[in-house]
Structure 1
Amino acid sequence: MHMANVTEVRQNASKIIAQVLESGEPAVVLQRSKPVVYIVEASAYEEMLKKLEAAETLFRAEEAKSALQEIARLRGKMAQRGKQQDSVPLIRELREGEGR
């Protein structure tokens, strides 16, 4: 990975971009010896965005799965206690108008 400070980027931006495109490796821009910006190929950046979106979708799906498992666990616990009937038949009956 190529490293350049801000001054070098100002003076040699075209050269640094050409190196990134030629090598396929990103360049890091340093300011006061700390990384502040990476220069990457547009296609590599777009690919990173796609992967991030896919990871976020997977994370949301896993969260939903966990929530459904927790609901199922709680329903099972409630059914074992016998304190409350399953409300699904009642709701279905009311929705379909059979309860009138």
Structure 2
Amino acid sequence: MANVTEVRQNVSMIISRVVETREPAVILQRSKPVVYVVEASAYEELLKKVEAADRLLRVEETKNALQDLADLRKRMASKGKQQDSVPLIRDLREGKSR
């Protein structure tokens, strides 16, 4: 941890320590953390993990949407020919199940 004044005076030392230890440095302003200084490869690794988590979330959302569609098809098929599908579609949009 270092405050803004220490960063101004010792920026090279702080960067060297972060690169050497691969541990982030916390920069404080008025005793509150405002910035983390991280080594470049650690930051890039973190970005890759975030992107992978985002892809996984999108896959799960797609699976859920496909399952909702399959459930809708089953409900519609079980009711036979339906004159008005608007209530069923409205319920699906609103997350209600029948």
Which TM bucket (shorter chain)?
Answer: 0.7 to 0.9
- Cα deviation, residue 66, structure 1: 0.3
User: Which of 39, 48, 55 is equivalent to 1:41?
Assistant: 39
Which of 20, 23, 36 pairs up with 2:21? 23
Q: Which residue pairs with 1:66 in the alignment?
A: 64
Q: Give the equivalent residue in structure 1 for 2:2.
A: 4
Q: CA deviation at 1:49?
A: 0.5
Match for residue 79 of structure 2 among 78, 81, 89: 81
Q: Give the secondary-structure state (helix, strand or coil) at the position aligned to 1:20.
A: helix
Number of aligned positions between the proteins: 82
Give secondary structure in 2 for the equivalent of 1:74: helix
Alignment RMSD (CA, Å): 0.8
Structure 1, residues 62-85: CA drift from partner, whole Å, max 9, x if none? Answer: 00000000010111011000025x
TM (norm. structure 2) is 0.81
One-letter code of the match for 2:75? Answer: K
Unaligned runs of 5+ in 1: 85-100
TM-score (norm 1): 0.79
Unaligned runs of 5+ in 2: 83-98
2:48 is matched with which residue?
A: 50
SS of residue paired to 1:9? helix
